[in-house]
Structure 1
């Protein structure tokens, strides 16, 4: 077994696609509209769905707002350098909500970014996992 994808419901599909591709550097892997169900799906990631977990953006045509709730925490993305990643994200118009720096225990460097719908994305340095 392995994780395939994480689905996020989004209010504005184009704005979310722009964020995940231009700000976060992901690629659109596949996309489809379902006329009968009145929704669109876009799968994005840093590699093939056959090799890595990806994000599924779901846009329901007749919904205009969602509550994020209190149970969902964040998506974590590994980067080579959290400080440089934050600089690049801010330069591309992204919102950094917790600047790069050590976590409370000091064991790793991390930061948090927010997508257009308010979902949190944690940036962690990759060397932590090697």
Structure 2
């Protein structure tokens, strides 16, 4: 039995990506100040000893967010080999990277065109990679609004 994409039993949107963070204040500061996100929602669970902070773009309050999960009793995590990255659109990728570097953000790959182009379009995107305070990779993609 197959369901149509409009069926109520088929997922229809991305809500958030969850990452565990070692220092909640430091992570909020990074996602707010370096990446321009706002704290959209916070949920604290004292009995379970964790806090969730949902960071996103105020202009798109119903868009996908990043859930920062802070487990009160853990101060470090390993990422494993399965995690990839979060991708964010930016109008001026070169200016964004210069600004982030001035803020001390670790630039993992300088802004520039991808080495390969997709067969379908033949167009190479301009990308960069940075790291958040916990070492999670974030891809910046040149994208005009």
Aligned residue for 2:128?
111
TM-score of the two chains, using structure 2 as the length reference? 0.83
Question: Which stretch of the first structure deviates more once superposed, 64-73 or 41-50?
Answer: 41-50
Alignment deviations for residues 63-90 of structure 1 (CA, whole Å, 9 cap, x no partner): 1221100001100001101101101111
Aligned residue for 1:74?
85
Aligned residue for 2:6?
none
Query: What is the distance in 1 between the residues matched to 2:64 and 2:129?
Result: 20
Query: What is the distance in 2 between the residues matched to 1:97 and 1:125?
Result: 16
Higher helix fraction (1 or 2): 1
Computed over aligned residues only, the root mean square deviation of the Cα atoms, in angstroms, reads 1.4
Q: Map 1:92-107 to 2 at 5 A.
A: 92-105=103-116, 107=124
Higher strand fraction (1 or 2): 1
- Structure 2: state its 5+ residue gaps: 1-11, 118-123
TM-score of the two chains, using structure 1 as the length reference? 0.92
- Structure 1: state its 5+ residue gaps: none
